[in-house]
A = this chain, B = another copy of it.
Amino acid sequence: MTPSKEQLHWMYETMVTSRRFEETIEKIYLEGKQPVFNMASGPIPGEMHLSNGQEPVAVGVCAHLEKGDIVTATHRPHHEAIAKGVDLNRMAAEIFGRATGLSGGRGGHMHLFDPEVNFACAGIIAQGMGPAVGAALSRKMQGKPGVAVAFIGEGAANQGAFHEAMNLAALWKLPFICVIEDNSWGISVAKKDSTAVARNDVRGAAYGVPGVYVEGNDPWKIFEAAGDAVARARAGEGPSLIEVETYRLAGHFMGDAEGYRPKGEKEALFARDPIPAMRKRLLDEGAADEAKLKELEARAEDRVSAAIDFARSSAAPAPEDALTEIFA
């Protein structure tokens, strides 16, 4: 399965949107945090996990998803949220902790929830697995269409929740896909120091589920693998497991000194930045000309600045609203 031109344009634009969004967030995050870096300060407080470098996974998978399909994301959710179509204005406002945010500032960047596009997060490692499997079960029981995708990190594949949810999904033959973003690090711990096998696709065998490993952080290959899995799921043939080689260009979170990285790793990763690589290939293969790319990039920029403006100009929540929306 290869992406159509339109799909490629959407993928590229979405990747650029996510990147520009994070570049902007990154700058604003540091406002008020210099010279002394204190997480509590500035317009965007708290932890900030950037996903730059990992955009191909989000777009390669979400290119196949509809609004009604379900995604659960992790502590590093921006690229996935944007690719799934979460409202960018309200997402930005949430990250800024504003009243107009997705949850009115209650959740913040690790807890982006948008029922409009069936998007949810879990800040606890691997805990998006169960809810995604459950949503897939719900669709199957209701006889409604829909595929549920849980995105997790490669470090999360060593958590019990991964195992339990994979077994459930396979046992009940659910329209579920587990996508593992293998950025080779779980904070400072390398995959080889945490995972007894080199690649998690082999873990599919433990559930009788097809497992695929996609190399090279390549949007085309990811699109293909995800396409197969989504088709399988929609056809009622059960779950799939996809692990994707990807790169975390930034630290685990902002403020991470990244002392654990081997020398030269960062430089090597930047040399393989997937966005310029995709740009080049689109041009080379004639899938887009310079003008088209500029147009996509401009649209991405515009969406990002509109979102940031929306967030910046939104009001802060009323303090006492901390105690609302606890129960339904």
Report A's interface with B, CB cutoff 8 A: 158-164, 166-167, 170-171, 193-197, 202-203, 205-209
Contact = CB atoms under 8 A, between A and B. Distances in A.
A160 B160 CA distance: 3
Contact of A205 (B158, B164, B171, B206): B206
A203 B205 CA distance: 7
Number of copies of this protein chain within its complex: 2
A194 B202 CA distance: 21
A197 B202 contact: no
B194 A171 contact: yes
A248 to B, nearest CB: 21
Q: Which of A166, A196, A209: most chain B CB closer than 10 A?
A: A196
Contacts of A202: 205-206
Given A170-B196, A171-B194, A171-B196, 4 more contacts: A160-B160, A160-B161, A163-B163, A171-B195
Contacts of A161: 160
A14 B10 CA distance: 69
Contacts of A159: 160, 164
Contact of A164 (B158, B167, B171, B206): B158
A244 to B, nearest CB: 18
Contacts of A193: 171
A161 B164 CA distance: 10
A205 B207 CA distance: 11
List 8 tightest A-B contacts by C-beta distance, closest first. Answer: A160-B160, A163-B163, A170-B196, A203-B206, A206-B206, A196-B207, A171-B196, A205-B205
Contact of A196 (B194, B195, B196, B208): B208
Nearest to A197: B208
A194 B120 CA distance: 27
A158 B167 CA distance: 7
A230 to B, nearest CB: 20
Nearest to A203: B206
Contacts of A162: 163
A170 B195 CA distance: 9
Nearest to A165: B160
Contacts of A160: 159-161, 163-164
A203 B162 CA distance: 14
Contacts of A197: 205-208
A161 B163 CA distance: 9
